[in-house]
Amino acid sequence: MKKLTKHYQVQANQTAVKMGSGDLDVLATPAMVAMMENCAKDLLADDLSVEQTSVGVAMSVNHLAPTAVGATVDVKAELLEATKNKRSFSIKAFDKEQLIGEGTHQRVIVETAAFLKKLK
């Protein structure tokens, strides 16, 4: 199956304190999840037409270890299953060699214009 690895540097605005998800100046879980979702989204980019995009619909994640501001996080996404318009991924995040997070993610491919018409 398809795989992609992306590298992210932890920014000061991505800490648990700044994002409001905790009391420490370490990578916030929501920021790690965003990195994971971004990697999966980019893995699908070549499979989409210009009229399409993908949207995240499910995420199950475990945040296993703290990561300091300035550290590089390597996120590895692997496509596990592809049905008509749904894609399932395994995603892992590493700080150097240490596994800091892992989970599964699902995205759905949609027609951008039709999806945006659902906004009220």
pTM over 0.85: yes
Start-to-end CA span in the chain (Å): 38
Q: Look at residue 21 in the predicted model and tell me its pLDDT.
A: 97
Q: How many domains does the chain contain in total?
A: 1
Q: How many CB atoms lie within 10 A of CB 56?
A: 17
Q: Look at residue 48 in the predicted model and tell me its pLDDT.
A: 97
| Residue 113 DSSP SS3 | helix
Segments forming the whole domain that contains residue 36: 3-116
Tens place of pLDDT per residue across the chain (120 aa): 899 999 999 999 999 999 999 999 999 999 999 999 999 999 999 999 999 999 999 999 999 999 999 999 999 999 999 999 999 999 999 999 899 999 999 999 999 999 999 997
Residue 50: give its domain's CATH number.
3.10.129.10
Residues contacting 120, CB < 8 A, separation 6+: none
